Amino acid sequence: IYGSGSPTALHPFETDKGITTRDRSDIQACDILLVNAIGITVTSVGTAIELGWADAFRKPIVMVLPKKEQPTHPFNHGMVREITGYTVENLDEGLYICQVILQRGQ
């Protein structure tokens, strides 16, 4: 318990519930989700959940995932592909797509 005097006590924002609550709120408040998936070799459960929240909240999703990584990438999954609006090769392209979407209000 935070404030119990224990050196291992976590601040409420550092607990599993705190992190989850913060991340869900961040996704709900954002205008677009940009996922930099370059070099990921194992599935990030947290990122997968955030992708689901973004889709549920109808946030545009831009995935940075080079074609050369796609065949074996953990996010190369049918459901992830279906909810991702844009998949691009590099971060500059991803940022450009985000900028265009935000300027157009889509």
Within the chain, strands assigned E span: 33-36, 61-64, 86-88
The predicted model gives 37-51 an average pLDDT of 94
Mean pLDDT of the chain, nearest integer: 90
- Determine the pLDDT at residue 1: 45
Does residue 21 have a pLDDT over 90? yes
Question: Per-residue confidence at 11, pLDDT binned at 50, 70, 90?
Answer: confident
Token readout for 21 is 């609550």
- Determine the pLDDT at residue 13: 80
Rounded to whole angstroms, the Cα distance separating 79 from 87 reads 14
The predicted model gives 44-65 an average pLDDT of 97
Amino acid occupying residue 101: I
Amino acid occupying residue 71: P
Rounded to whole angstroms, the Cα distance separating 60 from 66 reads 19
